[in-house]
Structure 1
Amino acid sequence: MNPLTSKIIFIIGMILWLLVRIPYQKEQKKNTIVDDRKTIQEKLVRLLLLIGILFLPLIYVLSPWLNSVNYQLPIWANVLGIAALMLSLWLFWRSHHDLGKNWSSTLQIREGHTLTTNGVYQNIRHPMYASVLLLCVAQALLLPNWIAGLSGFIGFSIAYATRVNQEEQMLLDRFGDEYEAYRQSTKRLVPYLF
């Protein structure tokens, strides 16, 4: 596939990704926060994720600065990247849709927060993280560059390692045995595997 085509497909995917989140961010601002566990560490991790998934890919797409570390991929890898991007977008949208008013971009519990166990949450506790992981796969397969293509994995790995346990502890503190039973019946990222 032409490198320009794969870059355009990735950028369109990122625009759609950002558009999915807008209505939920607006709704989030209306809710009262009853438990806020945002920290400086979380803000730094979110910044690293943003750099890895958005800023470095944009630099690669819009300038020649990173071209010295490009790599070659066969056409089937680009097609797989498009499939991963589409699945990522669907899962990202569906995760937001199923959470509804319970969604928060940070470690917060809002007034009236309920435990979501339906839709994609029926089998996966963290489908939004799974969607980000799929986005990182798409990024590596659509942006064949050792920096821009793989930077998403680095940001995601740090975010996942530092945030998921904190998020699960917050939900366990809030929902107790109900969340523990849910944890025992689901997988974190990939249903039936992990």
Structure 2
Amino acid sequence: MACLQVKIALKSFFLSFFIVTIIGFLQIYYNFTNSFANVAGTFACTIFVVLVITKLYFQGYYPFQIAIRAAFLGCVLSLGIFVKLVAPPHIQLFGGYMIVMAFFHFSEFVAIGIVQPKFVNKDSFVINHSPQYITAAVTSWVEFFIESYFFPGMKQVEWLSNVGLLICVSGELLRKTAMLTAGSNFNHLIQCEKFSNHTLVTTGVYSWFRHPSYVGWFYWSIGTQVLLLNPLCVLAYTLASWLFFKTRIEIEEITLLNFFGQNYCDYQEKVSTGIPFIEGYKI
């Protein structure tokens, strides 16, 4: 049974998605305008109205912060489909990117709401994961639009972009499978205290990698830049993600060794971290 927060998020996400999609694509279907800019303007106005209604309906209540984020992601998903289908060819890749981003962040909230309903909150969408995460995202947008403006043909290598999409889907599936497999043992924050229900999970995808959720996110992040055909950000994201997860894994493994002692040492000997050239913390 989904918790209240997940139910609110699901309703807000799908209602906003369907409202924006219906209004926007009705305009396209009935040929009210052939201008891409005018149709985009209709989508933008609709999204604004949907978010205002969500704000007015939920403001002053605890679920507001969850509802507004879910509604925003629903709008992004709808707009991403629109861009993918009807934008100029050298811009269409960005629509696929928007779809991937919207689904990732929304599914992140739903997954944590399933495995850790007591800890789910507005930050569980991980939209504002960190200033570095926001900076990286904005940088990738800047690169995409600069390159698409000056070198439009560069953004029309569809087969390579599809490789990036496949990497994103694979990383997404691995991460969410890891979250569901770990169950109540999973948390977005590294835990410093061992609770009575903490167990060492070594089955399923955890028999492949010690940190499958990080492996999934690592490759997902790189895949988003392959999808956008951003050569500079592919390199930058690979390096930045590797450095982030190297530090994160080392810190987490210190706590896991404190929690599970020799059992975790044995697990380390049998299973790799899953990210190339990252060994983790070993005694």
**TM-score, normalising length: structure 2:** 0.53
- Does 1:30 find its partner at 2:118? yes
Change over 3 Å in CA distance of 1:29–1:177 after alignment to 2: same
Match for residue 163 of structure 1?
Answer: 248
C-alpha separation in 2, matches of 1:78 and 1:16:
18
Gaps of 5+ in 2: 1-83, 120-128
Percent of matched pairs sharing the same residue:
20
The alignment's C-alpha RMSD in Å is 3.1
Deviation of residue 164 (structure 1)?
0.9
Matches within 5 A, 1:1-194: 2-26=89-113, 28=116, 30=118, 46-52=130-136, 54-57=137-140, 64=145, 72=154, 74-108=157-191, 109=193, 111=195, 112-146=197-231, 148-189=233-274
Runs of 4+ in 1 over 6 A off after TM superposition: 68-71
1:135-184 superposed Cα distances (whole Å, 9 cap, x missing partner): 13312211223555554324312311221111111101100011111111
C-alpha separation in 2, matches of 1:115 and 1:50:
33
1:50-98 superposed Cα distances (whole Å, 9 cap, x missing partner): 432x44345567xx46757879363331121121111111112111111
Match of 2:110, as an amino acid?
A: P
Pair member with larger Rg? 2
Match of 1:185, as an amino acid?
A: K
**Is the 8 Å Cα contact of residues 207 and 271 (structure 2) preserved in structure 1?**
yes
Change over 3 Å in CA distance of 1:103–1:69 after alignment to 2: farther
**Is the 8 Å Cα contact of residues 90 and 148 (structure 2) preserved in structure 1?**
no
Change over 3 Å in CA distance of 1:122–1:110 after alignment to 2: same
1:77-120 superposed Cα distances (whole Å, 9 cap, x missing partner): 11211211111111121111111111111211552111111110
Gaps of 5+ in 1: 32-44
Higher helix share: 2
Change over 3 Å in CA distance of 1:150–1:93 after alignment to 2: same
Deviation of residue 190 (structure 1)?
5.7
Deviation of residue 129 (structure 1)?
1.6
- Number of aligned residue pairs: give it: 176
**Is the 8 Å Cα contact of residues 81 and 138 (structure 1) preserved in structure 2?**
yes
Change over 3 Å in CA distance of 1:162–1:141 after alignment to 2: same
**Is the 8 Å Cα contact of residues 136 and 150 (structure 1) preserved in structure 2?**
no
